[in-house]
Structure 1
Amino acid sequence: METITFNSVVPQVFSSTVQQLKSEIWNTEVTFRKGQLYLIEADSGKGKSTFCSYVVGYRRDYSGTVLFDANDTMHYKVKDWIDVRRQHVSYLFQELRLFPELTALENVEIKNKLTGFKSRKQIIEWFDRLGIADKLQSKVGRMSFGQQQRVAMLRALVQPFDFILADEPISHLDDTNSAAMADIMLAEAKAQGAGVIVTSIGKHMKLEYEKTLKL
């Protein structure tokens, strides 16, 4: 997948106020290209999570078209979306969606066992770089939200992807851990030639974004 294009996309919830939308994504045309870095800034209630849901196919309540390359995703079937999420788009959820009863390492390995994408040595090295090597065997449900954010990021990286979508990935991290997480994510994205789309309603990863868009 080389591009993701939003063409005149308007969420149904905004359909009655479409003429008042002042967005660089909704009701216009914007293309995200593989290999580039994007920041999407949004105020609360402007549809940040909605945007993410459209990219990964969890919702289709919109007018307009979402295109992957030249393919209209409105016509995708379940098997198509499974392929997208396994091979093309990795998603770091704002709400993380970790398994609280599993350890930090198990949460990452449960996905890596499906993909076989990274060695255990690489994963443990990432834990160390993020300052949570001592939490490998800790139950995620007993970890702070900031620690859980780091675990969720590592889980998002143990798969092939053309784009990685990170929804408010550092909301609970200090500057040091934010920088470490950004370095790891960017290095992996560059290794795969992937695009990076980061969303934020305030604090965001300090990366050299090619484009910043206001939602």
Structure 2
Amino acid sequence: MNTIELQQTLPAVFAGRDSIISDVWHQLLTLKRGEAYLVEAASGTGKSSLCSYIYGYRNDYQGIICFDGKNIRSLSVHDWVEIRKSSISMLFQELRLFTELTAWENVQLKNSLTGFKSKKEIKAWFEQFGIADKWNTPVAKMSFGQQQRVALVRALCQPFDFIFLDEPISHLDEENGRIMSRILVEEADRQGAGIIVTSIGKHLELNYTKTLKL
């Protein structure tokens, strides 16, 4: 997948508003593979909805979203399975980890579907993130910042053309934010992938191609 295009897209809940001032909603916007985008937004302007629309998790929007020119409303269940397995990776704001499972078990659930990373590579990321000692710890017993790091490792355990990160460092300090940026960029560069980060203030420090106001 090389492009994601939004054509006059707008959350259905916003349809009654008189005017929408946005670089994303009600615009013609093309996100290109290999580039990095920052989507800055105030709370309640639809940034998490945007991620859910593109991931096919929700379809309560007006307008059109296309992957390489194909309207995503026409995609089958099988198509979505393949897209989520090999084209789009998503780090949701609420993380969607299984809290009763350990950090490693959460990551392994994804990696077992793709076989994309070796256990050695995954352990190296845990060490870089300073959570190697949490390998066998149930996620419920970890801080939210630690969980964010586990969720990113899980998101990287698949091939992708685009990776979306919804407020990925809301609970991280500056040093861990820098580590996340480095690991993310290294992996995206390796795959020639596009990066889309959403933020309501604190965001990953990357060399963004474009900053979009939601």
Higher mean C-alpha displacement, 58-67 vs 168-177: 58-67
Quick one: distance in 1 between partners of 2:147 and 2:83?
Answer: 25
> Which stretch shows the higher mean deviation, 74-83 or 169-178?
74-83
Superposed, 1:1-215 pairs within 5 Å as: 1-17=1-17, 19-215=18-214
- 2-side partners of 1:20 and 1:126: how far apart? 45
Counterpart of 1:151 in 2: which secondary structure? helix
Letter in 1 for 2:14: F
Shift of 1:80: 1.2
2:64 partner amino acid:
T
Where 1:20 maps in the other structure, the secondary structure is coil
How far the C-alpha of 1:176 sits from its partner, in A, is 0.2
Is the deviation greater in 117-126 or in 75-84?
A: 75-84
More helix by share: 1
Distance of 2:157 and 2:100 partners within structure 1: 20
Shift of 1:75: 1.1
Using the size of structure 1 for normalisation, the TM-score is: 0.98
Runs of 5+ in structure 2 lacking a partner? none
Structure 2 letter corresponding to 1:56? Y
Structure 1 runs of 4+ aligned residues shifted over 6 Å read none
Q: Aligned partners of 1:114, 1:203: CA distance in 2, in Å?
A: 32
**Aligned alpha-carbon RMSD (Å):** 0.7
What secondary structure does 1:6 align onto? strand
Percent identity of paired positions between Structure 1 and Structure 2: 56
Q: Which amino acid is 2:117 matched to?
A: K
Per-residue deviation at 1:207?
0.3
Q: CA deviation at 1:63?
A: 1.4
Q: Distance in 1 between matches of 2:38 and 2:74?
A: 28
Partner Cα distance (1:36, 1:135) in 2:
33
TM superposition shift of 1:72: 0.5
| Cα distance in 1, alignment partners of residues 10 and 208 from structure 2 | 25
* TM-score, with length taken from structure 2: 0.99
Q: Output the CA distance in 2 between the equivalents of 1:183 and 1:63.
A: 36
2:36 counterpart letter in structure 1: L
Distance 1:50 1:112 in 2: 26
Q: What amino acid maps onto 2:12 in structure 1?
A: Q
